[in-house]
C-alpha cells in the first residue's frame, strides 16, 4: 500500500444541482488540491470549471493514483459508474432525484477507494437530504451512509459527527433526528460512547496543552442543565452518570453544564484561552449553531470513528446561488487541510 503522504484524497462532487461541483473545481485553481481526485461526472465538472472563467481543464483518469500525473490547473475526474445519462439536465438550484442518486454513487465509490487504501481520505462536497430521499436512498445524510458503507455488511462501528473550527470543537450525541426522537436517543450508553469517541479522536486534532488528556465539557440537554431536576431530569439520570463513568475510565470529562454558556467557556479565541478542548452536545442544533455562528467559511465537519479520514465543509448545497459562480470554497479548503492533517497524524 502507498504511504499516506503520496496517496491522493478523494473529493466527491456533491449534489450537482448545488454548489458542490463549483467549489470542488475552485480547489484546483491553486496548489492546495494537487494530487486530489474528483469522484463524479466529467460533464458536470466541465460545466463547473467553465463557471470559473475557463482557466481550468478537466481530465478523465482511470485510476486514483493517476491524479498525481495531471498538470496544474487541471481537474482529474474518476467517472463514477451508474450515474444518470441525463444528469446535466437536472435543474440547478432544485431538488432532483438524479442528483441525489449521483451523490450517493459518488460517496459509495469514495468509500471503496478508502477501504482499499487507494486514497488517503475522503472530502465530501455538500449533498441535499431531500434529493437523497427522492432517489430512494435509505440514509438521511453523509454520517449515517458512511457508517453503513464502512461496515461492509458487518455490525456498524459507532461514529459521531464533529463540527470544528480554530476556536471551537463540538461532538454530537444525536444527529439527524427530529428533536422529539433525539431526546429519546440521549441514553447513558450514547452519551458515554460519545465521550469516549471524542477522547480517542482528540489526539489527532491536538489539544491546548500537548501531552495532556483532552479536556471534555459535556453540555446538558435541558435549560440550565436541568437546574437540579426542576426543568428535566436527564442530567441527573443519564448525562451526569455517563460523565462519571467516563471519568472512572481516566477521561477528563466534566459536566453536565448549561448548554447556553458552556460554548463560550470552551471557545479558544484571541485573549480568551478556552477552558475545554471539545464540547459534547446532546442534539444537532445545540452543538452546531455555536460553531456555525463563528463562520461557516471556517468550519469543518469530521466523522469520528470511521476506519478512514472523512471531512466536509459545514454548509449545505446553497441552491440559491448555485450555478452563479459566487460560491465560496473556504470551508471546503479548510476541510481538505484538516483531512491532510488527520491522515498524517
Helix, strand, coil fractions of the chain, as percent rounded to 5: 40, 15, 40
pLDDT in tens, 121-134: 999 999 999 999 99
The predicted model gives 262-273 an average pLDDT of: 89
Asked if residue 271 and residue 214 are part of one domain, the reply reads: yes
Asked if residue 82 and residue 57 are part of one domain, the reply reads: yes
C-alpha cell at position 16 = 450537482
Asked if residue 106 and residue 208 are part of one domain, the reply reads: no
- Give all strands (DSSP E) within 42-88, no chain letters: 57-61, 74-79
Give the CATH number for residue 324.
3.40.718.10
Asked if residue 154 and residue 5 are part of one domain, the reply reads: yes
Q: Is residue 285 part of a domain?
A: yes
The whole-model pTM stands at: 0.86
What does the pLDDT read at residue 47? 97
Taking residue 68's Cβ as centre, other Cβ atoms within 10 Å add up to 15
Specify the higher pLDDT residue, 2 or 259.
259
Asked if residue 97 and residue 76 are part of one domain, the reply reads: yes
What is the total count of domains within the chain? 2
Kindly tell me if the per-residue pLDDT of 118 is higher than 90.
Answer: yes
- pLDDT band of residue 310 (cuts 50, 70, 90) is very high
Asked if residue 194 and residue 45 are part of one domain, the reply reads: no
Domain stops at, among 294, 317, 332: 294
Asked if residue 150 and residue 27 are part of one domain, the reply reads: yes
The predicted model gives 98-126 an average pLDDT of: 97
Kindly tell me if the per-residue pLDDT of 158 is higher than 80.
Answer: yes
Q: Is residue 208 part of a domain?
A: yes
* Nearest of 67, 276, 51, 269 to residue 165 by alpha carbon: 269
How high does pLDDT run on average in the chain? 92
What does the pLDDT read at residue 251? 95
Q: Is residue 56 part of a domain?
A: yes
The predicted model gives 204-211 an average pLDDT of: 59
pLDDT in tens, 16-45: 999 999 999 999 999 999 989 999 999 999
Q: Is residue 222 part of a domain?
A: yes
Specify the higher pLDDT residue, 310 or 165.
310
- pLDDT band of residue 296 (cuts 50, 70, 90) is low
Q: Which domain holds residue 224?
A: 166-294
- pLDDT band of residue 206 (cuts 50, 70, 90) is low
Q: Is residue 301 part of a domain?
A: no
H/E stretch holding 158: none
The predicted model gives 267-288 an average pLDDT of: 91
Specify the higher pLDDT residue, 56 or 273.
56
Q: Is residue 299 part of a domain?
A: no
Asked if residue 128 and residue 92 are part of one domain, the reply reads: yes
Q: What is the C-alpha to C-alpha distance for residues 282 and 255, in angstroms, rounded to an integer?
A: 12
The predicted model gives 259-267 an average pLDDT of: 94
- pLDDT band of residue 202 (cuts 50, 70, 90) is confident
What does the pLDDT read at residue 311? 95
Asked if residue 211 and residue 331 are part of one domain, the reply reads: no
Asked if residue 139 and residue 10 are part of one domain, the reply reads: yes
Asked if residue 282 and residue 185 are part of one domain, the reply reads: yes
Percent of the chain with pLDDT over 70: 95
What does the pLDDT read at residue 208? 54
Asked if residue 148 and residue 223 are part of one domain, the reply reads: no
Q: Is residue 146 part of a domain?
A: yes
Kindly tell me if the per-residue pLDDT of 152 is higher than 90.
Answer: no
Q: Is residue 41 part of a domain?
A: yes
What does the pLDDT read at residue 2? 42
Percent of the chain with pLDDT over 90: 77
Amino acid at each position: 500500500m502507498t504511504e499516506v503522504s503520496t496517496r491522493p484524497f478523494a473529493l466527491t462532487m456533491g449534489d450537482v444541482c448545488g454548489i458542490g461541483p463549483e467549489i470542488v473545481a475552485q480547489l484546483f485553481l491553486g496548489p492546495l488540491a494537487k494530487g486530489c481526485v474528483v469522484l463524479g461526472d466529467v460533464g458536470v465538472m466541465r460545466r463547473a470549471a467553465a463557471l470559473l472563467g475557463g482557466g481550468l481543464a478537466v481530465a478523465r483518469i482511470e485510476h486514483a493514483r493517476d491524479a498525481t500525473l495531471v498538470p496544474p490547473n487541471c481537474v482529474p475526474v474518476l467517472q463514477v459508474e451508474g450515474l444518470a445519462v441525463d444528469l446535466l439536465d437536472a435543474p440547478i438550484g432544485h431538488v432532483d432525484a438524479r442528483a441525489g442518486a449521483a451523490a450517493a454513487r459518488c460517496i459509495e465509490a469514495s468509500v471503496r477507494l478508502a477501504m482499499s487504501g487507494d486514497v488517503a481520505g475522503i472530502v465530501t462536497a455538500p449533498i441535499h437530504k431531500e434529493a437523497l430521499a427522492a432517489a430512494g436512498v435509505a440514509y438521511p445524510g453523509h454520517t449515517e451512509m458512511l457508517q453503513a458503507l464502512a461496515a461492509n455488511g458487518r455490525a456498524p462501528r459507532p461514529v459521531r459527527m464533529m463540527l470544528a473550527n480554530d476556536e471551537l470543537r463540538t461532538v454530537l450525541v444525536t444527529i439527524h433526528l427530529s428533536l422529539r426522537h433525539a431526546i429519546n436517543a440521549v441514553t447513558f450508553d450514547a452519551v458515554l460512547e460519545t465521550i469516549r469517541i471524542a477522547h480517542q479522536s482528540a489526539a489527532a486534532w491536538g489539544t491546548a496543552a500537548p501531552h495532556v488528556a483532552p479536556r471534555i465539557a459535556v453540555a446538558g440537554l435541558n435549560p440550565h442543565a436541568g437546574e437540579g431536576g426542576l426543568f428535566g431530569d436527564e442530567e441527573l439520570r443519564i448525562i451526569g452518570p455517563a460523565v462519571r463513568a467516563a471519568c472512572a475510565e481516566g477521561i477528563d470529562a466534566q459536566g453536565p453544564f448549561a448548554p447556553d454558556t458552556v460554548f463560550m467557556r470552551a471557545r479558544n479565541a484571541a485573549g480568551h484561552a478556552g477552558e475545554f478542548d471539545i464540547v459534547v452536545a446532546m442534539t444537532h442544533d445545540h452543538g452546531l449553531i455555536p460553531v456555525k455562528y463563528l463562520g461557516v467559511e471556517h468550519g469543518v465537519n469530521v466523522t469520528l470513528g470511521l476506519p478512514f479520514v472523512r471531512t466536509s465543509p459545514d454548509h449545505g448545497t446553497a441552491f440559491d446561488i448555485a450555478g452563479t459562480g459566487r460560491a465560496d470554497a473556504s470551508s471546503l479548503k479548510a476541510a481538505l487541510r484538516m483531512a491532510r492533517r488527520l491522515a498524517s497524524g
